[in-house]
Structure 1
Amino acid sequence: MQDSKTLVEQAQHAIAASSKTSPTEAGPGERARQPATDAHIDALNEAFALFRINYHNQYYKAYSDTQVLNQIKKLWLDSLTQFEPETLRRGARKVIEESEFLPTLNRMIRACQGDPESYGLPDTHSAYVEACRAPSPKAAQRWSHPAVYHAGLASDWFFLASSPERVAFPVFERHYQRLCERVMNGAKLPVPQPPALPESTEKPLSAEENHKRMEALRRELDL
């Protein structure tokens, strides 16, 4: 394990670097970081409480200094607010179930990201392509997972169809990843319901009636 001085220095460098970047900025392939909420702080404190109980000796060796612990928490909070509070709790449980060692921030991030495929969720780009290619009516299609449909709906179908991928994909990605988090946290998304068929069908117009309507339309449009 690293000594307290090393941990403090690493935390200070990371915090200094993060302070130069806007909280909502994200690099390629990264999710935008959101401002920390009280719920995020509570979830992170719960995660560290689990670490203290599960990794007792390792924990107290790494965080014997209150200053170290507070700086590490600040660093983690800055990086982990990209996830929902419940996702932080799930990530912490996953870590203690799978590892004998006190986790690094990188390990915690990977635990929070989870494994969407194990929940039947396609990867983000495949989901985006599926949403863009689905014909109308959207709700009547057979979706690989309801999250794909709901992400497309939240992104706006016309926007997805009319915008280039470099513009549309980040919007879809943001909605889809949030929905994936909800699914991995136990939420059940409603299955899209196809539009109901009309109770009665209109009688087809005769050729003469169609001709009259076309003539009326031409007069109206001055064609």
Structure 2
Amino acid sequence: MALLWKQLSDIYGARFTHAHGESDASGVWYQALNDLSRDDLRHGLHALYRDSRFETWPPNCTQFRHLCLKRAGEGVPTVHEAFREVQAHLLFPSRTRWSHLVVKHSLVRAGVAFMDKAPVHQAFTVFKNVYEELCRQVADGILLTDVPETALSPIRTKRNPIPNLKSLLRTA
């Protein structure tokens, strides 16, 4: 707890020590965080650096606890659910209801044209790598912006699957 207190004091200076004291004398922070692992606390500090809500003012103990526990798994579909969502979008773009921004970003980063045309096993392999990396970034506190629908639309061209069929039928 002393190391965490020092780190938060280093980040926020007098704003932190004025609000919370030179140490956790009351034990409130200890009570809020004592069941968390070192990795959870490290994750909380990492997320704190990336959360604009805490750029100028330190969090209280419950806000910091939520930062420590917040992981990519909250509200994010599994890779298989996300892949099915992308496949459904590629078939019926106008009917898509996106479950999470990370799914939209994964589609764009994997390549809409590639995901639309590639064999399913290849598309899944590429999508899985992109999706898992984005989930890690989201867990680390990276904030995703919205993706315009035009960037998600598969390019459809009218093409005749059997271009010479008419000429072949005439000669027969």
TM-score by length of 1: 0.39
Q: RCO (CA 8 Å, sep 6+): is it higher in 1 or 2?
A: 2
**Based on CA coordinates, which of the two structures has the bigger radius of gyration?**
1
